Chains A and B, each alone.
Chain A
């Protein structure tokens, strides 16, 4: 005992020696490690100038290799000397008792956990001064741990993971004293992070989940899917590229509160406005406005006022937390709206189109701003139908739907999906927009017409992999135009043939059969499975779920 006090540097060594002498040789590894331990001890003697923490690491590692199961007697001996030893030795004890973890089997044994617990109460019994003393001792190892991870010393890594997993209770006693340690200990890093040091340094940024926002998001996701499918039926539509991350992101948008959400929303919007679909983003605020108003009357005014004022302060206060995120998104909407103002409004018909629609909404002030921009669409029915469906949606997925709807609008032909929507109760909106069909003259029809075709011509030029003349592209555009007209005529005739006024999926299937895409060998479902993304597939192909329910209901 008296030997330990005078040399502070040699106490770990002596401790190790003592433990090794007293430990029972159970495994065949023992004698080998004992020999290795002697060699390492010699190394340690030579490198006495090393930092104490690294020394402790090395010794503990050696010891762990050597003494897999420390006998109680040895441990009691070690603990018996706790009060007399330095804090470094206490740390040593803990490291010694931590289980060894191999690279193959990361999980550690539970057994050594009680051991450090035994240590801890004893440590706690010791004065706070010793605990505080431990702080400077512990900080270097913890700070060193990430540092050691980087150079890729496997054994050091093992040590650290062992330490973190095998000693979960250890930091608890230190929590009230240190906050810096929480990062490395309170959130135990997985073995994965140990193998990837870059991730180890970043503590996961978790924020408190808003229950209200979460519930709202649940509602959104439950309502959103039917509309996503019915609105976009084009195989090569750009929205699948731009929207799938948006769809993916929009639900996770909700749980994040505050700045993250605005950033994401802004990012989403910027992306949508980026590709040059200018008609897209002006649609969004109007659609968003409408959707919001339909959804919650109480919030509509606030939202619209925020959008017009581009300041959410008035709206934020009276509203609940759950709607804050949506409001912030509204602010972003307001920003994008102002952007669209700068870019210039579209044809007058487009301004008229949201008129009837925004009649649905309550607030009237900001309607002026929305109307001025107003989304454009060639066929009013599509708008009506889509916006009828839109009120069902909540804010979380308007962005994802906007691009799709925009894409659909740009085409002159009504895709069957939209026509299906038109069959849905779109009466309220159609009733409110009686003057629209007369006002949409040929000119506005051509603009989205051509715009949509140019979109496909771009695809054509891309897949051609060769430079094309402008005249050739114009011809391609004309051909596409005729093709789509034929397509629509056929669909219309097929629907009339079956005595219907609305185009249904059966008509589309008949068309595809005539085209030769669907044959006796290849059914429509096969094509759906082959070419459409998973979300559409779930909606188009009915599958039975438990309780005799078929989803989607038909």
Chain B
């Protein structure tokens, strides 16, 4: 039992390390872009600090999102939860709301298209079925 727990922990730890490495790599890429843009260099410690910060903040975000979803008596995290999370920073909130509106719009469009397609499909199938029934009856 203890060995299993330890193995699990090690697994989790290694998983975490991999995630951290991935975050670190992404942060490094972003910092390089900003460095090229602004003409300033980033030291390694800075990038490491930023990546560590990002990782921990992501953990916090996740916990908060889960809390918000539970507070609204849901089991899935919604865009509402994300908006609630970003409410502190005005620009970020605005950005997120714009994006969320875009996404919902896209979703609606997709749904509309799907509905049309499914309706056509239904019409066809119905006609076929009716025809089939008529034929069978006759």
Which residues of chain A (498-514) have a CB below 8 Å from chain B?
498-499, 506-507, 510, 513-514
Per the bound structure, the CA–CA distance linking A510 and B87 in Å amounts to 15
The chain A residue sitting closest to B81, CB to CB, is A497
Q: Do B67 and A499 have beta carbons less than 8 Å apart?
A: no
Per the bound structure, the CA–CA distance linking A445 and B68 in Å amounts to 32
- Contact partners of B68 in chain A: CB under 8 A: 497, 510
Asked whether B44 is an interface residue with its Cβ less than 8 Å from the other chain, the reply is no
B88 CB to nearest chain A CB (Å)? 9
Asked whether A494 is an interface residue with its Cβ less than 8 Å from the other chain, the reply is yes
Per the bound structure, the CA–CA distance linking A507 and B81 in Å amounts to 14
Which residues of chain A (471-524) have a CB below 8 Å from chain B?
493-494, 497-499, 506-507, 510, 513-514
A492 CB to nearest chain B CB (Å)? 11
- Contact partners of B108 in chain A: CB under 8 A: none
The number of residues on chain B lying at the interface, defined by a beta carbon within 8 Å of a beta carbon of chain A, is 10
Q: Do A499 and B71 have beta carbons less than 8 Å apart?
A: no
Specify which of A497, A499, A506, A513 is in contact with B84 (CB 8 Å cutoff).
A497
Closest 6 CB pairs of A and B: A498-B72, A510-B71, A497-B84, A497-B72, A498-B71, A513-B67
Per the bound structure, the CA–CA distance linking A514 and B64 in Å amounts to 7
Per the bound structure, the CA–CA distance linking A494 and B87 in Å amounts to 11
B80 CB to nearest chain A CB (Å)? 7
Per the bound structure, the CA–CA distance linking A505 and B92 in Å amounts to 29
Residues of A bordering B, CB below 8 Å:
493-494, 497-499, 506-507, 510, 513-514
Specify which of A497, A510, A513, A514 is in contact with B80 (CB 8 Å cutoff).
A497
B65 CB to nearest chain A CB (Å)? 12
Per the bound structure, the CA–CA distance linking A514 and B60 in Å amounts to 9
Residues of B bordering A, CB below 8 Å:
64, 67-68, 71-73, 80-81, 84, 87
Per the bound structure, the CA–CA distance linking A507 and B71 in Å amounts to 8
Q: Do B67 and A510 have beta carbons less than 8 Å apart?
A: yes
- Contact partners of A499 in chain B: CB under 8 A: 72
A174 CB to nearest chain B CB (Å)? 76
Some 7 contacts from A to B, beta carbons below 8 A apart, are A494-B71, A497-B68, A497-B71, A497-B81, A499-B72, A510-B67, A510-B71
Q: Do A506 and B71 have beta carbons less than 8 Å apart?
A: yes
- Contact partners of A513 in chain B: CB under 8 A: 67
Per the bound structure, the CA–CA distance linking A514 and B67 in Å amounts to 9
Q: Do A493 and B87 have beta carbons less than 8 Å apart?
A: yes
Per the bound structure, the CA–CA distance linking A499 and B67 in Å amounts to 15
- Contact partners of A507 in chain B: CB under 8 A: 71
Additional A-B contact list (16), CB under 8 Å, known A497-B72, A507-B71, A510-B67: A493-B84, A493-B87, A494-B71, A494-B84, A497-B68, A497-B71, A497-B80, A497-B81, A497-B84, A498-B71, A498-B72, A498-B73, A506-B71, A510-B68, A513-B67, A514-B64
Per the bound structure, the CA–CA distance linking A494 and B80 in Å amounts to 11
Per the bound structure, the CA–CA distance linking A497 and B78 in Å amounts to 11
- Contact partners of B81 in chain A: CB under 8 A: 497
- Contact partners of A498 in chain B: CB under 8 A: 71-73
Per the bound structure, the CA–CA distance linking A498 and B69 in Å amounts to 9
The chain A residue sitting closest to B60, CB to CB, is A514
- Contact partners of B80 in chain A: CB under 8 A: 497
Per the bound structure, the CA–CA distance linking A270 and B25 in Å amounts to 69
Per the bound structure, the CA–CA distance linking A514 and B84 in Å amounts to 12
The chain A residue sitting closest to B68, CB to CB, is A497
- Contact partners of B64 in chain A: CB under 8 A: 514
A421 CB to nearest chain B CB (Å)? 22
- Contact partners of A494 in chain B: CB under 8 A: 71, 84
Per the bound structure, the CA–CA distance linking A494 and B71 in Å amounts to 8
Per the bound structure, the CA–CA distance linking A507 and B68 in Å amounts to 10
Per the bound structure, the CA–CA distance linking A499 and B64 in Å amounts to 18
A436 CB to nearest chain B CB (Å)? 30
- Contact partners of A514 in chain B: CB under 8 A: 64, 67
Per the bound structure, the CA–CA distance linking A497 and B70 in Å amounts to 11
Per the bound structure, the CA–CA distance linking A506 and B70 in Å amounts to 11
Per the bound structure, the CA–CA distance linking A240 and B118 in Å amounts to 67
Per the bound structure, the CA–CA distance linking A513 and B71 in Å amounts to 12
- Contact partners of A510 in chain B: CB under 8 A: 67-68, 71
A511 CB to nearest chain B CB (Å)? 10
Per the bound structure, the CA–CA distance linking A513 and B70 in Å amounts to 13
Per the bound structure, the CA–CA distance linking A506 and B80 in Å amounts to 18
Per the bound structure, the CA–CA distance linking A238 and B50 in Å amounts to 45
A397 CB to nearest chain B CB (Å)? 34
- Contact partners of B73 in chain A: CB under 8 A: 498
Per the bound structure, the CA–CA distance linking A155 and B68 in Å amounts to 75
B57 CB to nearest chain A CB (Å)? 14
- Contact partners of B67 in chain A: CB under 8 A: 510, 513-514
- Contact partners of B72 in chain A: CB under 8 A: 497-499
Per the bound structure, the CA–CA distance linking A364 and B77 in Å amounts to 56
**Listed residue (B68, B73, B81) with the most chain A CB atoms within 10 angstroms of its CB:** B68
Per the bound structure, the CA–CA distance linking A510 and B68 in Å amounts to 8
Per the bound structure, the CA–CA distance linking A506 and B72 in Å amounts to 10
The chain B residue sitting closest to A520, CB to CB, is B63
The chain A residue sitting closest to B87, CB to CB, is A493
Per the bound structure, the CA–CA distance linking A249 and B9 in Å amounts to 58
B76 CB to nearest chain A CB (Å)? 15
The chain B residue sitting closest to A514, CB to CB, is B64
- Contact partners of B71 in chain A: CB under 8 A: 494, 497-498, 506-507, 510
- Contact partners of A493 in chain B: CB under 8 A: 84, 87
- Contact partners of B84 in chain A: CB under 8 A: 493-494, 497
**Listed residue (A493, A497, A499, A514) with the most chain B CB atoms within 10 angstroms of its CB:** A497
The chain A residue sitting closest to B84, CB to CB, is A497
B86 CB to nearest chain A CB (Å)? 12
A63 CB to nearest chain B CB (Å)? 79
Per the bound structure, the CA–CA distance linking A497 and B79 in Å amounts to 11
The chain B residue sitting closest to A489, CB to CB, is B87
A496 CB to nearest chain B CB (Å)? 9
A181 CB to nearest chain B CB (Å)? 73
B13 CB to nearest chain A CB (Å)? 20
Per the bound structure, the CA–CA distance linking A228 and B96 in Å amounts to 43
A489 CB to nearest chain B CB (Å)? 8
